[in-house]
Amino acid sequence: MTAMILSDNVIPRADVIKRAVRIGAEIRNVKLSGDLPEQTIASINGLLLEHKVIFFRGQLHLDDAEQESFAIRFGELTPHPTLGAIKGTASIIELDSTRAGSRADLWHTDGTFVDAYPKIAVLRGIVMPPFGGDTVWSNTASAYLDLAPPLQGLADRLWAVHSNAFDYAILARVSELDKKHLDEVFTKTIYRTEHPVVRVHPETGERTLVLGALVQNFVGLPKYDGQKLFDLFQSHITALENTVRWSWRDGDVAIWDNRATQHYAVNDYGDQHRLVHRATVAGEVPVSIDGRSSVTRITGDHQAV
């Protein structure tokens, strides 16, 4: 309630346009920068916790430095564990559709192959195609609430292994160049992390589902049974009523709570150019409802696996 009151006092509710009932809001009349007052940053954070993903149109003034200057107001910046960060930045990765490995057309939460995966991502659209290239987000907290109580109880007890060494078969469209990029860059070090299927959100106290494309198996379950359960839980996450879709324009910024969402970059724009830069804010190690923490095991380099 305090966060909502603060938001009303700093960012008027008239400037907060809901995009769907369960997730997503567009925030108007805010120019993002690293110099925003502390109350404005707190208000943005409150709106983020409430709506899970928030959008800002027309932030054309931002460059990489200012994007990170804004993102760092929400916590420590963190580079990608295997991709690193582009030169001169602390955390930014570039997703350029003209290069291999830049089309994330699968449902995922960023970085779950490590324990303390990012808590917040700040994505800036630099070159967007005139049509296609939308991104879709889903609310993993409302997905948990949609589960019948017996299924909630089952999910509460399950743990899953996440890894960056995922199977190419889960990718609908993968080229030989994409495979080369995955082998030589994305999976140059193999991480395997055990996460609770249900984590307790450290700021809201909500229970959120931790699944997505990086899941390899459930701990203690045969692969066949685990796949059936994965499909069941994941279907609640990606139900259309649980999602919001954003049609990008140049200069747009999307900020999402990576602890309570999954997302999917729709690969429907062909050879048109799509270029985005993403900054990430370091997150906490997830904690299950019984107080246990996620555990990462680094397997080694790709060739040794």
- Considering the candidates 22, 108, 124, 236, report the single residue annotated as catalytic: 108
Question: How far is 113 from 66, CA to CA, in rounded Å?
Answer: 28
- Considering the candidates 263, 274, 277, 302, report the single residue annotated as catalytic: 263
Active-site annotation holds for 61: no
AA identity, residue 75? G
10: left (phi over 0), alpha (psi -120 to 50) or beta: alpha
Active-site annotation holds for 302: no
Question: How far is 222 from 241, CA to CA, in rounded Å?
Answer: 31
AA identity, residue 78? T
- Tokens standing for residue 32: 């993002």
Three-state SS across 130-182?
A: CCCCCEEEEEHHHHHHHCCHHHHHHHHHCEEEEECCCCHHHCCCCCHHHHHHH
In terms of Cα–Cα distance, which of 235, 196, 194, 200 is closest to 216? 194
CB 113 within 8 A of CB 210: no
CA distances from 43 to 3, 31, 205 (A): 7, 14, 19
Question: How far is 66 from 50, CA to CA, in rounded Å?
Answer: 25
Active-site annotation holds for 110: yes
Question: How far is 45 from 10, CA to CA, in rounded Å?
Answer: 12
- Considering the candidates 73, 199, 278, 302, report the single residue annotated as catalytic: 278
- Tokens standing for residue 282: 């370091």
- Considering the candidates 110, 146, 252, 257, report the single residue annotated as catalytic: 110
Active-site annotation holds for 201: no
Q: Is 42 exposed, middle or buried (0-12, 13-18, 19+ CB in 10 A)?
A: middle
> Could you list the active site residues?
108, 110, 263, 278
